[in-house]
Amino acid sequence: MTAPPQETYEAQETYGRGGRVKPWCAGLLFAAVSVVVGCRAADTDGITPVPQLLAFLPWLLVPTGLGLALTLLGRWWFGAVWGVAVLGLLAWYIEPYGKEPPSEGVVVAEVRVLTANVEFGRGAPALVEVIRRERPGLVFVQECDGGCRARLRREVGDAYPYRREVAAAGSKGSVILSAYALKGTPGVAGTMGMPGAVADVRGHTVRLQLAHPMPPLPRQVALWHRELGRLRAFAAADPAAPTVLAGDFNASQDHAGFRRILDTGLYDAARLAGADRTPSWPARTAPTLGAQIDHVLVTRHFTADHARFLKVPGSDHRALLVELTLHAPRG
């Protein structure tokens, strides 16, 4: 019997090594993605690094697709089924979360709302230009230090005679600027400033609250959840009142803590305007790559016609500008 050529043995050995490596790599990719998707399905944010990865849930399509390619090359058919299942779950959860509010009542006011994180005040000069150009009626500014607050008062203060602020340094300072008359409220307690107010919008009372909970850093996930919970408590306290809750939530629709805020009866204005997956952070890579963590949330009394994410040079966030319409019950 003639022995097979030596080249055949070498080819078989090489294929065997490659055939084993590809399924192993695919399995590792699927396992990592499955943990994150499993937490999303279980309605929990899990522990580090899951909360951080959930912010970029749509981008998990990339390792999942790579894993599927490896399973096909390695002829691992069980892995192919696993990968397709993970891919299907990702596609399901990428869909917008929440329902559209009923368009009820008569139109009583058009309200333009701007929210911007100016990163320790560095984006304040650019924000002034945005405010002058866009002329929003309400402006929510996060990470507004003393210099930022002084600049806003000096350069746009005449157009916004009403304000509520937390006078603090660095990331802890925040301010609400308003063209409408304001009454102060205690706001929401947090590590960073979260002032609140009640606005008189053409004779209609509107609750305002700035949002800026701590980010889900590896050792601060529990604190992040507590502060999101306080924002949820604010939203749930008076669901019958027209409300605008806006700011840097350090959370996306893929975080359970954020969805629980929406579940109180709030609606994401960007989602209503068809921009639910437009990234707002980090500004350097948005809109190509990033997460939408800056939001304007409203009660059923509002509809949203347009939403735009604007560059604010000097900041690592893009500002969000939304056009809202306030409705009142007929009669």
Question: Does the global pTM surpass 0.95?
Answer: no
Strand order in the sheet with 138-142: 162-166, 174-178, 138-142, 106-117, 319-328, 302-310
Q: Which residues partner with 181 through β-bridges?
A: 200
Neighbours of 74 (CB within 10 A): 21
Closest CA to 259 of 297, 288, 289: 297
Helical residues (DSSP H) of the chain, grouped into ranges: 6-41, 50-54, 61-74, 77-94, 124-134, 146-156, 221-237, 256-262, 269-272
* CATH label, 106-328, candidates 3.10.129.10, 3.40.50.720, 1.10.630.10, 3.60.10.10: 3.60.10.10
Closest CA to 270 of 289, 292, 242: 292
One digit per residue, pLDDT tens: the chain, 331 residues?
555 555 544 444 444 555 689 999 999 999 999 999 999 999 999 999 999 999 999 999 999 999 999 999 999 999 999 999 999 999 999 999 987 777 667 999 999 999 999 999 999 999 999 999 999 999 999 999 999 999 999 999 999 999 999 999 999 999 999 999 999 999 999 999 999 999 999 999 999 999 999 999 999 999 999 999 999 999 999 989 999 999 999 999 999 999 999 999 999 999 999 998 999 999 999 988 999 999 999 999 999 989 999 999 999 999 999 999 999 877 5
CATH 3.60.10.10 residue ranges in the chain?
A: 106-328
Residue 177: both structure tokens together? 């600027």
